[in-house]
Structure 1
Amino acid sequence: MDTIQKTEPGTASYDIGGVRYPQPFKIRRLGHFGFNIADLDAGIDFYAGLLGFRITDTRDLKKIPGREELARRLDDGRIVFMSHNSDHHAFLLAHKSLGAIFGDDAVSKDITVNQITWQVGTMEEVFAAADYFRDKDVEIRRVGRDMPGSNWHTYIRDPDGHTVELYYGMEQIGWDGRSKPEALYYRAFRERPDLPQMSEEQEVREAIAKGIDIDAGNVIHDRGEQDYVVAGVRLKRPFKIVNIGPMSLFVSDVAASEEFYTRMMGFVRTEVVTWRGHRCVFLRNGGEHHSLSLFPKALRAELGLNPNTTVATMGMQVGSYRQLRDAVSFLKGKGAQFADVIPAELYPGVDYAAHVIDPAGHCLMLYYYMERVGWDGRPRPASERRKVGKDWPESLEPMSDTYADPAFMGPLG
């Protein structure tokens, strides 16, 4: 077994597949996130109906045997899992009463994020992380494997109380659009499992041997009603979300949060921007300019953003500049609320972007391009970035890294 071990006793250097890192894991990307909101139906209409996230599963905790006491305390027991790609979920919605019960807002009542989830490369990294965080006195919320989604995980809290998850092995939904049936949930783990575990292939073979109908899972569906041609494909809206992130958060102490995410989690600082005296930090874990940005809470009121959430913005990348223009027109035509309060200085590495407000007051950044950081680890100088005016042209000249993101895997719809 390819175990993760410290290279030398007493040092903070860990061997991950033959490469040494300061942590026993390496984050590869933002995998999924979720919001706790007051009106789940309004959230579903917005994220599924307007933005095109597909509902992959819905779990109602009020209807699960043994959860009767929990059910009595919930205003709405549903957890709605959604995706824009083949991952079982890239986004989930839950009622704010569930977030309060689970302690999502235990540190601060403006925390509406129920999780910010980062993918690592192996199962070993997930559980090595649990030992690492325990040794560092970081609060561990739970370790194991959740269903639906099948992802093995370690949950912790950051300095502001946001729940942060490291995971491996998200269930994939293929061409038939079916998620795993509930009968396969016996492979969930509420405590840390022993390693090694059987493979997904073995799980399926075992389920068939048990007589489980592996085709009995939920069928995903798209709630859209319109018919648009997007780059040669007929879709139900004139754009396709191809990536999520970056996540931008308002935090109590930017320096403390930066220390946590760089020293503890392994993020790399790409850039620091001082805007009107506020120090804002942009961090990455791959080739993107940033996957996480940290703003001081004092900036929230100055920008006029929702005081009831620590989310500054959540990024939603569409497939092209044309799709971005069409998305703005489509959403405005559907009555979506847009905000013009986020200055370009607070999303460096992104040129054209639009900010739309969801029904719960979260600000989403729609964009098509993010600067890529090359082998030398340096971002493009601000003086060499594209200047964006108020009027958006019909088409653009490419930057050196335009459309250099990984290709969206799979058909658009």
Structure 2
Amino acid sequence: MTSTAPTPIRTRKLGHLVLLVRDLEASIRFYTEVMGLRVSDRIADQMAFLRAGEDHHDLALARLPDDAPDRDDLPRYTRPGLEHFSYYVDSVEEMRRAVDVARSLGVTIERGIGQHGPGGNWFLVFKDPDGNNVEIYTDMDQIPQDADHRPQTWDRNLESFDRHRLAHFVVKPPAAVLASKESKKD
């Protein structure tokens, strides 16, 4: 019996990182005042999207809950550290093909396909063998260096997570996302 492995996902470049932080405002000050990044947008008091170049964001900061314990349990997302890193792909079609690649190789799809509010980028997130979240994304908003950009503050709701309200998801969304969707049905 001969089996052929699928063609790997065609990633083009390392994209952005999302860090979990305890103090969002202190982290924003560090990355703007020390590292020289600019704020592109925010989601309420929960997230900030920062950029060094023209991509809407190359770093996002997500605030941990105030009651998050201080222990080494990153897979449960309750301590500071990496939530995910991403790779750029050329199109949503390549992202759809990536679903087939992942499934054929037994790779867990964590969330997606969706399109974020801030940044407008389409996303699909997998688990690597160590449980790290690896995202592929495409079609991120661009902000020219000389643009007079004013950051927008998005509400913390389903549309800031996925503009299409989970219509393109290929897996069951996380419980917190489903709860957000249910609260909007009223």
1:85/1:79 CA distance change after superposition, 3 Å:
same
Kindly state the Cα deviation for residue 141 of structure 1 after the two structures are TM-superposed.
Answer: 1.4
Q: Deviations over 1:371-398 (max 9, x none)?
A: xxxxxxxxxxxxxxxxxxxxxxxxxxxx
Kept in 1: contact 2:42–2:152 (CA 8 A) = no
Kindly state the Cα deviation for residue 181 of structure 1 after the two structures are TM-superposed.
Answer: 8.7
Report runs of 4+ in structure 1 exceeding 4 Å deviation: 107-111, 178-183
Structure 1, unmatched stretches of 5+, are: 1-8, 14-21, 61-76, 195-413
Q: What residue number does 1:188 align with?
A: 163
1:111/1:160 CA distance change after superposition, 3 Å:
farther
Match of 1:128, SS state, is: helix
The answer to whether 1:176 aligns with 2:148 is yes
Kindly state the Cα deviation for residue 136 of structure 1 after the two structures are TM-superposed.
Answer: 2.2
Q: What residue number does 2:23 align with?
A: 39
Structure 2, unmatched stretches of 5+, are: 171-186
| Residue of 111, 136, 147 corresponding to 1:166 | 136
Kindly state the Cα deviation for residue 139 of structure 1 after the two structures are TM-superposed.
Answer: 1.8
Taking structure 1 as the reference length, the TM-score comes to 0.34
Kept in 2: contact 1:105–1:161 (CA 8 A) = no
CA distance in 2, matches of 1:182, 1:80: 10
CA distance in 2, matches of 1:193, 1:110: 27
RMSD of aligned residue pairs (Cα, Å): 3.1
CA distance in 2, matches of 1:134, 1:111: 30
Q: Deviations over 1:165-194 (max 9, x none)?
A: 0011111123232567969x6981324279
Q: What residue number does 2:36 align with?
A: 52
CA distance in 2, matches of 1:28, 1:179: 28
Kept in 1: contact 2:18–2:85 (CA 8 A) = yes
Kept in 2: contact 1:32–1:91 (CA 8 A) = yes
Alignment identity in percent? 31
Match of 1:192, SS state, is: coil
Q: Deviations over 1:334-385 (max 9, x none)?
A: xxxxxxxxxxxxxxxxxxxxxxxxxxxxxxxxxxxxxxxxxxxxxxxxxxxx
CA distance in 1, matches of 2:136, 2:102: 11
Q: What residue number does 2:64 align with?
A: 96
| Residue of 112, 132, 137 corresponding to 2:106 | 137
Kept in 1: contact 2:77–2:83 (CA 8 A) = no
CA distance in 1, matches of 2:153, 2:31: 24
Match of 1:115, SS state, is: strand
CA distance in 1, matches of 2:94, 2:62: 28
CA distance in 1, matches of 2:77, 2:25: 25
Kindly state the Cα deviation for residue 130 of structure 1 after the two structures are TM-superposed.
Answer: 1.8
1:108/1:91 CA distance change after superposition, 3 Å:
closer
Q: What residue number does 1:146 align with?
A: 116
Larger Rg over CA atoms: 1
- Equivalent positions of 1:363-378 (< 5 A) are none
Match of 2:129, SS state, is: coil
Q: Which AA in structure 2 matches 1:96?
A: L
Q: Which AA in structure 1 matches 2:119?
A: G
CA distance in 1, matches of 2:30, 2:131: 27
Match of 2:118, SS state, is: coil
- Equivalent positions of 1:225-236 (< 5 A) are none
Taking structure 2 as the reference length, the TM-score comes to 0.71
Q: Which AA in structure 1 matches 2:33?
A: G
Kindly state the Cα deviation for residue 163 of structure 1 after the two structures are TM-superposed.
Answer: 1.1
| Residue of 89, 106, 109 corresponding to 1:120 | 89
Match of 1:49, SS state, is: helix
Match of 2:103, SS state, is: helix
Paired residue total: 156
1:27/1:111 CA distance change after superposition, 3 Å:
farther
Match of 1:29, SS state, is: strand
1:180/1:126 CA distance change after superposition, 3 Å:
farther
Kindly state the Cα deviation for residue 111 of structure 1 after the two structures are TM-superposed.
Answer: 7.1
Q: What residue number does 1:12 align with?
A: 5
Kept in 2: contact 1:151–1:167 (CA 8 A) = yes
